[in-house]
A and B are shown apart, each in its own frame.
Chain A
């Protein structure tokens, strides 16, 4: 990151390759739209590059990265209503024959729709916890809230989401 701040694009490329999966996953789960997700993820990397000369490693880069991405997600939501565009397609388990694969894809699509219908901060909390695996302390650092506030936010998000998820319980 420090090398990227000095204009070293090879270092920047390493950062992108290292974090592109996380950037894409957060952006995709937050927006529900492939094109918007790619724009958002690219914006995050370019803003990080823009700020690189001023970057000081006072926190882990991972926390900083998620913080930039989260802010962009929330700004994106403020600028426009979420559009549930055509998802790029979900990855279904190859052990299932085609008819069940179709139902897995539909299942994932419905879950994504439920996610996108949440308020932006609820949605972000769910994505950071359940898709990125961030701990409460990490989420607090990323979202700029206390750990207690993050726990309350996550509890409210789950209350809003779970009635729609129960029909997808395995088994």
Chain B
């Protein structure tokens, strides 16, 4: 599309008054033409500046990974749900810390119940193992330097004397 033709349509483009095909043609031209983007910016700053921004390409193998996830779900018959690892990555540090504390509290409560029933040296090891299993199932993928990972390190059986 020639610059002269585009410049005559910039006002309509900014006002979203162009037919879809013309809109796409102007948009494509603006992505490649700094001069027309400068003209566009006189009408609509956002349109002029953002038209020149390049988005990185789709990550390699993206479609394959999506399909693999879909096949997995079809094979297991499960509907979509977050894995603990994804939950961990998507939530903020305070949320993760709160979840770590809650998980430990639940694990410790369960461990206490178990140790009340059979308080022996073997039972004590079992209750610690039970607490570790609850925490480990959810936080084995915790980032190395996170608050929760340091907290978990502090409650490691090796530090029992500090509890």
Contact = CB atoms under 8 A, between A and B. Distances in A.
Interface of A: 7, 9, 12-13, 16-17, 20-21, 24-25, 28-29, 34-36, 38-39, 41-43, 45-47, 49-50, 76, 79-81, 87-92, 108, 111-112, 126, 129-131, 133, 135-136, 158, 161-162, 165-166, 168-171
Contacts of A41: 62, 66
Task: Tell me the interface secondary structure of chain A in the complex.
Answer: helix
B56 A135 contact: no
B52 A170 contact: yes
Contact of A133 (B24, B89, B92): B24
Interface residues of B, number: 44
21 contacts: A9-B67, A13-B67, A16-B66, A20-B66, A24-B62, A28-B55, A34-B56, A38-B62, A38-B65, A46-B66, A50-B73, A87-B56, A88-B56, A90-B53, A91-B57, A111-B50, A131-B50, A133-B23, A161-B46, A165-B45, A171-B38
Contacts of B76: none
B24 A80 contact: no
A1 B79 CA distance: 18
B63 A13 contact: yes
B73 to A, nearest CB: 7
Contacts of A88: 56, 59
Contact of B63 (A20, A25, A81, A87): A20
Contacts of B63: 13, 16-17, 20
Interface string B72-104: 011000011000001001111001000000000
A33 to B, nearest CB: 11
